Structure 1
Amino acid sequence: MRRPGGAPGTRGAPMSDSQQTDPAPLWWSRPDGLADARRDGVPAPRPHAEGDTAAGGAGASSPDPSEPGTEAGSGPRYDPWAVRPLHVVDTGRVPRGIRIWQVVAISLGAALLAGGTGGYLGVLAERRSSTRLELPQAAAVSRDRAPESVAGIAAGALPGVVTLHVSGGGGSGTGTGFVLDPQGHILTNNHVVADAKRITVTFSTGESVGAELVGRDSGYDLAVVKVTGVRGLRPLTLGNSENVKVGDPVVAIGAPFDLSNTVTAGIISATGRPITAGGDKGDGGDVSYVDALQTDAPINPGNSGGPLLDAQAHVIGINSAIRGADEGQDGKDGARQSGSIGLGFAIPVNQGKRVAEELIRTGHATHPVIGVTLDMQYTGDGARVAAKGDDGASAVPPGPGARAGIRPGDVITKVDGQRVHGGDELIIKIRAHRPGDALKLTVLREGREHTLDVVLGSSSGA
């Protein structure tokens, strides 16, 4: 093949002035598909416009105006296939008006913005993920409990337990009580309502109604109040305190420090524990004598009058007193601890039942007596009969004691075989019985023991 401007078989021969060739192609700008033609130095064929004839025909593209023979006034025609040199920007120079520190500041700001945005998005993602967090949990089960469990006992007894709010006598107080019968009689402690001018009873449902005092007795520390117009009362079942044994489980319900419907549990720590509370032992006024049940179930101020229940949810006692810490044991300037230390005392329900029946029936209770005057200053073992009565008369006037053969100066050491250590304990043992009960007393007279049979008399309580 013959190449323009050169002899056959030669490459790169110079062209004449009348000949014009395309600029040498640059390797980075050559069109695709023209590699063979460019390699051989042959101008690449240009595509034919619509209406062009075959190669070299009359319909070829318009000539370059710079070429000889170009008609004047004809404009250049854009040739998309023309090869043009590329312009390379010198990146070694920073454009005028921009400083290095500005570039650094912009880069640093962008980095801080990106970091802050990323942190915020991370926190937001964590918060959103935490709302969907679910920890392992036991499945829901039946809320029913065995009747003999603490929960079962509480569920059955709470509807019959009430909180008493009392005002009058220059102050106010809170205590507990429980429903005795469908007529609305409620048993509580005497010291809860002793000075009451107004009594309000609140049930476990939150319903509150006024109550009136039916009767009270300071010697037993028991009282009965009554509510009217209340439907659906739930009386508690009374048990038998003679069946109680040390170690039996018990549940106490009350309103310690006005926290109503409070349930605590423990055991019977002792039975027949003689305690006295209130009043002046010298004259016996307003002193309560209780042959108590002792429990370690926590009892606090406000529990007074509440029920002590056995495993069958039967009332076996009326919570009445607690033993506080001795002075100085809590290290607060000799102050006595007011809360529970595990020594609580309840009036046996057998005694409470008899007194409640008398209060409902007559408004007052009777006390069993042996009809003698005791020497409360005696410090020896046992209870000594005084030489003379309080009015200077005989310490053994006509009555149960005189008929049993008791004499002034006798020391009573046992009641039905149970040891007594003082006058208070003898009264407690006597009051644990009913008027008309027969007892055996062991007395020490002139160094010798005698056994005497006595039938208890009766006196009206306060």
Structure 2
Amino acid sequence: MAAEALKSTVTLYVKGRDSDGVGSGFIFDKRGDILTNAHVVAPAANGGKIEVKFSDGVRRQAKVVGAAKGYDIAVVKLDHATTMAPTALPLGNSDTVLVGEPVVAAGAPFSLDGTITSGIISATHRPVTTGESSSSPSFLDALQTDAPINPGNSGGPLLNDSGEVIGVNSALRAATEKDAGQPGSVGLGFAIPIDQAVWVAKTLIEHGKPVYAQMGFLCNTAFRGQGVQIMQKRPHREPPVTPGGPAAKAGLKPGDVILNFGGRPVTGPSELKGALWSHHPGEKVRLKFTHDDRIRTTTVVLGEHRGDF
């Protein structure tokens, strides 16, 4: 299974004007489109170059079809037609992934292409925010794994024991001095669920830009209570709840606190955004919230936002 997975796993060498990097990706459709992370191809955004290295050592130039920073997903396409016929990896169902099941991660950690690591799924629906220092962080509703994931694994496939892709490796949690004072692997890697990744990729191929689900309200990031509070006052002349938007139609008001989204408790804005973006525009989602200190429920029909924020 590992040998078959590596045939369709590629290494991306990305060079930009100010930075460069190495990441991974994999063939995910019959046209040979390559799925990877947005942060992997980010250096090529302004006139940079992408070189794709296949498992047999062949290298080809490529370009970005589209990238979604919020989802941390990008699609890459080879510049010219090729006689190569790489096989797309079979796709699994990330909604059926269970904690404890074995997984394999493929990619190029520390530029060591053709690397396989193994482990288990250690958690699902893990809220993860990446790129906090940038103006466009990613909010992941992630699969958590203890399979070793290191720099260079980003964009590579996370596979189940049937060889099906269930996630796109995206982030890691490394030990620091605050973690008991001993650096090293802490067994925490995170992957974007494949169901979400493929939907985003198909949207990028069709439209060239991402589409996000949205609710139409502003979060109070200074709120320290349980849940996510809608802003109480109008900041910078922008209404806390967008008139006629999904939240307004669902009956949400300034100052309301969202406690549960789609059957899942939410404790902060990042967690809510990760859960929100795991849904598609037009979906109906059940909410539990407090209004005037009373717990209420409602259903919101999600709106859409085209393009990155």
Structure 2-normalised TM-score? Answer: 0.94
- 2:159 aligns to what? 309
Unaligned runs of 5+ in 2: none
Whether 1:288 aligns to 2:138 is yes
- 2:299 aligns to what? 453
Whether 1:249 aligns to 2:102 is yes
Q: Separation in 2 of the partners of 1:349 and 1:318?
A: 6
Q: Separation in 2 of the partners of 1:308 and 1:239?
A: 10
1:201-230 CA-to-partner distances (Å, cap 9, x unmatched) read 000000001001110011001111101323
Instruction: Give yes or no for contact 1:219–1:461 (8 Å, CA) kept in 2.
Output: no
Q: Separation in 2 of the partners of 1:155 and 1:383?
A: 46
- For residue 176 of structure 2, what is the amino acid of its counterpart? D
Alignment coverage as a number of residue pairs: 302
Q: Separation in 1 of the partners of 2:32 and 2:238?
A: 46
Unaligned runs of 5+ in 1: 1-152
- For residue 229 of structure 1, what is the amino acid of its counterpart? A
- 2:73 aligns to what? 222
Q: Which has the larger radius of gyration?
A: 1
- 1:352 aligns to what? 197
- 2:236 aligns to what? 391
Bigger relative contact order (CA 8 A; separation at least 6) = 2
- 2:149 aligns to what? 299
Whether 1:430 aligns to 2:309 is no
Q: Separation in 1 of the partners of 2:228 and 2:65?
A: 35
- For residue 260 of structure 1, what is the amino acid of its counterpart? D
Whether 1:165 aligns to 2:18 is no
**Per-residue deviation at 1:301?**
0.3
> What is the aligned counterpart of 1:269 among 95, 119, 122?
122
Instruction: Give yes or no for contact 2:20–2:43 (8 Å, CA) kept in 1.
Output: no
- Distance of aligned partners of 1:390 and 1:195 in 2 relative to their CA distance in 1, 3 Å threshold: farther
- For residue 186 of structure 2, what is the amino acid of its counterpart? I
- 2:111 aligns to what? 258
> What is the aligned counterpart of 1:378 among 219, 223, 238?
223
- Distance of aligned partners of 1:351 and 1:198 in 2 relative to their CA distance in 1, 3 Å threshold: same
- For residue 9 of structure 2, what is the amino acid of its counterpart? V
Q: Separation in 2 of the partners of 1:200 and 1:405?
A: 50
Structure 1-normalised TM-score? Answer: 0.63
Instruction: Give yes or no for contact 1:253–1:308 (8 Å, CA) kept in 2.
Output: yes
Q: Separation in 2 of the partners of 1:434 and 1:241?
A: 16
1:336-378 CA-to-partner distances (Å, cap 9, x unmatched) read x5x6421000000011011000111111111001111101121
Whether 1:200 aligns to 2:51 is yes
- Distance of aligned partners of 1:457 and 1:210 in 2 relative to their CA distance in 1, 3 Å threshold: same
> Secondary structure of the residue that 2:204 maps to in structure 1?
helix
Whether 1:186 aligns to 2:34 is yes
> Secondary structure of the residue that 1:425 maps to in structure 2?
helix
Q: Separation in 2 of the partners of 1:220 and 1:311?
A: 26
**Per-residue deviation at 1:280?**
4.9
> Secondary structure of the residue that 2:174 maps to in structure 1?
coil
> What is the aligned counterpart of 1:213 among 64, 67, 71?
64
User: Percent identity between the aligned chains?
Assistant: 48
1:170-205 CA-to-partner distances (Å, cap 9, x unmatched) read 222100000122322101001111121010000000
Q: Separation in 2 of the partners of 1:178 and 1:312?
A: 17
Q: Separation in 1 of the partners of 2:283 and 2:154?
A: 29
- For residue 64 of structure 2, what is the amino acid of its counterpart? L
- Distance of aligned partners of 1:390 and 1:167 in 2 relative to their CA distance in 1, 3 Å threshold: farther
- 1:42 aligns to what? none
Q: Separation in 1 of the partners of 2:235 and 2:293?
A: 26
* Runs (4+) off by over 6 Å: none
> What is the aligned counterpart of 2:2 among 151, 154, 177?
154
Whether 1:415 aligns to 2:268 is no
- 1:343 aligns to what? 188
- For residue 261 of structure 1, what is the amino acid of its counterpart? G
